[in-house]
């Protein structure tokens, strides 16, 4: 669904503790992240462990539909999905991660209203039923993202493959970009939730029409 727009030069990876200023994603879009501790890293390329994780989900989805994919096909599908993301924040030890994605309005597309943002957040949350998650608990609330006109946050606790997990997201609009911040916490490291909340609460979006 995206995008064909030049992506500004960005280091392939670097520790979050090294993030000292704005990160340019597009010529008219920069973001600021909070300073966060190692072992978290930020990268514009999906880490291999994350590709493997998504590939497993792809395989499961295929099986639920009575299809069978080779490992190579699943990996290609996972890589394609992750190519829609602009930035990856990852704890390689626990597997917790935050995905950041920005989508400019189409030429003739009307700017979203607050109700559109709220509806998009609901669609994103309700789509988890396709992932085979169980014992799902959802919460929604307004979000205050610096630089955004509107933003909506959701938090989902769920069970999957015998473990408890948490999926937290923000859907928002900072003219002229829709944006999504999606965080997955496998609850393996108690510090991850604090770090994820810092990212969702303190990220600043600088966008110009």
pLDDT digits (tens, 9 = 90+) for 35-90: 878 899 999 898 888 899 888 888 888 887 889 899 999 999 989 988 889 999 99
> Do 90 and 184 contact (CB within 8 A), yes or no?
no
Residue 109 has pLDDT above 50, yes or no: yes
CA dist., res. 136 & res. 146, Å (int): 30
User: In the prediction, which pLDDT does 15 show?
Assistant: 44
Residue 71 maps to a domain: no
Q: How many domains does the chain have?
A: 1
Residue 143 maps to a domain: yes
User: In the prediction, which pLDDT does 162 show?
Assistant: 75
Residue 154 maps to a domain: yes
| 7 Cβ contact list (under 8 Å, min separation 6) | 25, 26, 44, 86
Q: Which residues pair with 182 in a beta bridge?
A: 99, 169
Q: What is the pTM of this model?
A: 0.84
Residue 4 maps to a domain: no
Confidence of residue 129 (pLDDT cuts 50, 70, 90): low
CATH number for position 42: 3.40.1000.10
Residue 148 maps to a domain: yes
Residue 197 maps to a domain: yes
User: In the prediction, which pLDDT does 6 show?
Assistant: 27
Q: Three-state DSSP class for 63?
A: helix
User: In the prediction, which pLDDT does 84 show?
Assistant: 87
Confidence of residue 21 (pLDDT cuts 50, 70, 90): low
């Amino acid at each position: 669904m995206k995008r064909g727009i030049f992506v500004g030069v960005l280091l392939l990876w670097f520790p979050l503790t090294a993030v000292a200023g704005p990160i340019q994603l597009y010529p008219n879009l920069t973001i600021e992240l909070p300073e966060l501790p190692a072992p978290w890293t930020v990268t514009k390329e999906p880490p291999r462990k994350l590709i493997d994780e998504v590939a497993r989900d792809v395989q499961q989805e295929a099986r639920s539909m009575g299809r069978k994919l080779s490992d190579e096909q699943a990996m290609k599908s996972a890589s394609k999905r992750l190519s829609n993301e602009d930035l990856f924040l990852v704890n390689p030890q626990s597997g917790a991660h935050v995905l950041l994605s920005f989508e400019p309005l189409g030429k003739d597309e009307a700017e979203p209203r607050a109700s559109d943002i709220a509806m998009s957040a609901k669609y994103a949350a309700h789509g988890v039923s396709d992932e085979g998650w169980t014992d799902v608990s959802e919460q929604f609330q307004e979000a205050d993202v610096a630089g955004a006109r509107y933003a909506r946050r959701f938090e989902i606790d769920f069970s999957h493959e015998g473990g408890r997990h948490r999926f937290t997201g923000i859907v928002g609009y900072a003219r002229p970009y829709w944006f999504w911040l999606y965080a997955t916490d496998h609850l393996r490291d108690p510090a991850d939730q604090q770090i994820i909340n810092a990212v969702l609460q303190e990220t600043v979006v600088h966008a110009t029409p």
